[in-house]
Amino acid sequence: MPSATPYPEVVLLVDAGTDEGYRRARTLLQSGHRVAVTARQVTQLTRIIHGFPSSQVFAIAADTSDPAQLDRVIERVQQRFGHTDAQINALVDLPAAFRPLR
């Protein structure tokens, strides 16, 4: 059954500041997903979100190795998009990246 929303999934991609994280984020965004991305530096996030509407992408500067910051990220993403369908750690090879973050 097709999704009632224009973007089929909400994906939280943490630690997206690497080249691999950039590629994964851009692939998800180009596929039409709504994506929340985290990185430690704002410049890394700016590179990822360039060219995509704010309704599709949400960037958060955070150190997700800190459990309190990760909890805050998850809370903010749920406030913004209502839910998450997948949580991916960009530093982990797929499919291990699809394991729960907490």
Nearest-angstrom CA–CA distance, 2 and 22: 28
Q: In which domain, by residue range, is 34 found?
A: 10-90
Please give the model's pTM, rounded to 2 decimal places. 0.82
Task: Please indicate, yes or no, if residue 5 is contained in any of the structural domains.
Answer: no
In a domain, 28, yes or no: yes
CATH code: domain of residue 68: 3.40.50.720
Q: Report the amino acid identity of residue 74.
A: I
Position 70 in a domain: yes
Pull the structure tokens for residue 17: 């500041």
Indicate whether 101 belongs to any domain: no
Mean pLDDT of 65-87: 95
Q: Specify whether the CB–CB gap between 74 and 84 falls below 8 A.
A: yes
Please state, in angstroms and rounded to a whole number, the distance separating the CA atoms of residues 16 and 24: 8
Q: Which two tokens stand for residue 12?
A: 């939280």
Looking only at the bridges linking them, the beta strands covering 57-61 and 86-89 are unpaired
Would 45 be classed as within a structural domain? yes
What are 58-71's pLDDT values in tens digits?
Answer: 999 999 999 999 99
The domain tally of the chain equals: 1
